[in-house]
């Protein structure tokens, strides 16, 4: 059954526009409370990122949960993966994250974690949506839920992150620029990296409720690139507003994306004899990563775009490592969800182990040029069902051979067909991408 509100990663939108409104969050808190009240006694954790609307939605959720008779523990600003960890370690019935991740401040949203620190099962999301359609009621006054603050949440999570690498590793002498995107890692990431011995230069650690992800963080690493060069740092670490994405910058100021970081971690695990199962990427993962992993005798499987689908495939194939080029990296041998800080620590540990710079580690993989062209269509269509389009794709694939690939997929949110071509030669890849895009447009309008 299709969900009305929940997407692949919770609920997200513009603040003040349905469903991202205080009255909806009040009802959502109550509906969530009703579902977890049926599961037994306990409490629900609520955390948020640093955007200004978080205060409003936190209060609304707390009121709704209380009306349903469920106790709440408030974490304040905390990274999404930190809330997943605390949900598990504090034995909460569920964890709720108020965040719109890498989006600007005027957006917000909500994600849920189960008591195991993983995404909620579809069955529970359907139950929550069922109660959202019911009239809201309030339990008797003596049954109302209570709320309290968790005072040591940040410290607990900092120690958890540090424990993801051997205690014997000391990063003394390593100079690191850390960009927290003025988001929920601002009071956590600098402590983690300095407490494992690195010299830390902070940027993006002054949130004001409006500057989250603004010209900083994993989606806009230009400021970090400049800072790495200016301070002659060994590398830079960029997180997004809720801390589940990681992009790094080497000492030359060059961006190291999620695909390159996944390769570095995968090779490290393989060399140490600790890699279990295949690496899981997505349909958009760079072909260069696939070829580099193959040289290390590591298989790559591709999931649909979205960390939910990556996680599903990881579990189906007993994999411990997966992620996306955008920087969502999941190390299941260390934690339960995508975690930017923990992924960065794994890369630093490999630098320490091998004595190589980040630049040297990423150079063991050659990224292939990848060109994406969006074709706007009047209605949603499946390009794989069109014979003319498929013939055009096959011709380009024949020209590219084993050193390239073509991907056509319909957008899940807009009337677009995304045409992606990847190969060794930038000029040819660009030419093929635009040629295919024109053929797709003509075939659909014919």
Mean pLDDT along residues 292-306: 95
81 and 24 both lie in a single domain: yes
- Of 341, 362, 383, the one marking the end of a domain is 362
**DSSP 8-state symbol, 224:** H
- Interhelix angle 258-271/340-354, nearest 10 degrees: 50
What would the 3-class secondary structure string for 402-437 be?
A: HHEEEEEEECCCCCEEEEEEEECCHHHHHHHHHHHH
Residue 10 has pLDDT above 80, yes or no: yes
Q: Does residue 3 fall inside a structural domain?
A: no
- Of 318, 341, 362, the one marking the end of a domain is 362
For residue 427, what is the domain's CATH number?
A: 3.30.310.50
Share of the chain above pLDDT 70, in %: 99
If one counts the domains in the chain, the total is 3
Per-residue pLDDT tens over the stretch 335-370: 999 999 999 999 999 999 999 999 999 999 999 999
Q: Write out the two tokens for 55.
A: 């205060």
341 and 226 both lie in a single domain: yes
What's the CA gap between 405 and 397, in Å, rounded? 6
Residue 378 has pLDDT above 80, yes or no: no
Listed residue (74, 104, 96, 116) closest to 13, CA to CA: 104
187 and 306 both lie in a single domain: yes
172 and 266 both lie in a single domain: yes
Q: Does residue 5 fall inside a structural domain?
A: no
295 and 402 both lie in a single domain: no
Q: Say if residues 399 and 432 touch (Cβ distance below 8 Å).
A: yes
Listed residue (135, 118, 133, 136) closest to 1, CA to CA: 133
Q: Does residue 102 fall inside a structural domain?
A: yes
Strand partners, 72: 44, 147
Report pLDDT for 280: 98
For every residue of 49-103, DSSP letters joined together read -S-THHHHHHHHHHHHHHHTT-EEEEEEE--HHHHHHHHHHTT-SEEEEE--TTS
Q: Under DSSP, is residue 324 helix (H, G, I), strand (E, B) or coil?
A: coil
- What is the dihedral sign for C-alpha 438, 443, 444, 445? positive
CA 190 vs CA 65, 180, 182, 357, 387: distances in Å = 33, 8, 12, 21, 54
Share of the chain above pLDDT 90, in %: 87
Report pLDDT for 38: 86
Residue 110 has pLDDT above 90, yes or no: yes
355 and 396 both lie in a single domain: no
Q: Under DSSP, is residue 46 helix (H, G, I), strand (E, B) or coil?
A: strand
- Report residue 63's pLDDT band, with 50, 70 and 90 as the boundaries: very high
| Residues that are catalytic | 101
Mean pLDDT, all residues of the chain: 95
Range of the domain at 236: 157-362
Per-residue pLDDT tens over the stretch 233-261: 999 999 999 999 999 999 999 999 999 99
What's the CA gap between 53 and 35, in Å, rounded? 25
Mean pLDDT along residues 18-27: 97
348 and 399 both lie in a single domain: no
Per-residue pLDDT tens over the stretch 426-441: 999 999 999 999 998 8
pTM: 0.94
- 184-265-346 Cα angle (round to 5): 45
Which residues does 193 contact at the CB level (< 8 Å), separation at least 6? 171, 176, 178, 200, 237, 344
């Amino acid at each position: 059954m299709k969900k009305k509100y929940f997407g692949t990663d919770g609920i997200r939108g513009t603040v003040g526009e349905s469903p991202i409104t205080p009255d909806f969050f009040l009802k959502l808190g109550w509906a969530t409370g009703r579902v977890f009240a049926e599961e037994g006694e306990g409490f629900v954790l609520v955390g948020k990122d640093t955007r200004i609307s978080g205060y409003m939605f936190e209060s609304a959720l707390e009121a709704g949960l209380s009306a349903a008779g469920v106790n709440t523990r408030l974490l304040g600003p905390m990274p999404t993966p930190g809330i997943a960890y605390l949900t598990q370690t504090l034995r909460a019935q569920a964890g709720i994250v108020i965040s719109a991740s890498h989006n600007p401040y005027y957006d917000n949203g909500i994600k849920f974690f189960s008591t195991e620190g993983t995404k909620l099962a579809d069955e529970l999301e359907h139950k929550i949506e069922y109660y959202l359609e019911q009239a809201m009621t309030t339990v008797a006054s003596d049954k109302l839920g209570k709320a309290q603050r968790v005072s040591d949440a940040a410290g607990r999570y900092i120690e958890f992150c540090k424990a993801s690498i051997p205690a014997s590793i000391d990063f003394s002498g390593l100079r690191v620029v850390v960009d927290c995107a003025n988001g929920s890692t601002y009071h956590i990431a600098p402590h983690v990296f300095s407490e494992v011995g690195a010299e830390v230069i902070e940027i993006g650690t002054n949130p004001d409720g409006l500057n989250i992800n603004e010209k900083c963080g994993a989606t806009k690493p230009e400021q970090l690139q400049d800072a790495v060069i200016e301070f002659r740092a060994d590398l830079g670490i960029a997180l997004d507003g809720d801390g589940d994405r990681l992009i790094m910058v080497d000492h030359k100021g060059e961006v190291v994306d999620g695909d390159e970081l996944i390769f570095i971690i995968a090779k490290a695990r393989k060399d140490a004899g600790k890699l279990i199962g295949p690496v899981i990427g997505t349909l958009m993962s760079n072909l260069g990563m696939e070829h580099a992993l193959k040289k290390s005798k590591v298989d790559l499987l591709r999931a649909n775009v979205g960390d939910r689908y990556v996680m599903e495939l990881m579990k189906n194939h007993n994999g411990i490592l997966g992620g996306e080029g955008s920087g969502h990296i999941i190390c299941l041998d260390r934690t339960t969800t995508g975690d930017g800080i923990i992924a960065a620590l794994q890369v630093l540990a490999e630098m320490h182990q091998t004595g190589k710079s980040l630049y040297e580690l990423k150079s063991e993989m050659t990224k292939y040029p990848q060109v994406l062209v969006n074709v706007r269509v009047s209605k949603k269509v499946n390009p794989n069902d069109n014979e003319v389009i498929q013939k055009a794709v096959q011709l380009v694939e024949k020209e590219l051979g084993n050193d390239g690939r073509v991907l056509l997929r319909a957008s899940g949110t807009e009337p677009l067909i995304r045409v992606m071509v990847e190969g060794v030669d930038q000029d040819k890849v660009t030419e093929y991408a635009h040629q295919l895009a024109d053929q797709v447009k003509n075939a659909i309008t014919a």
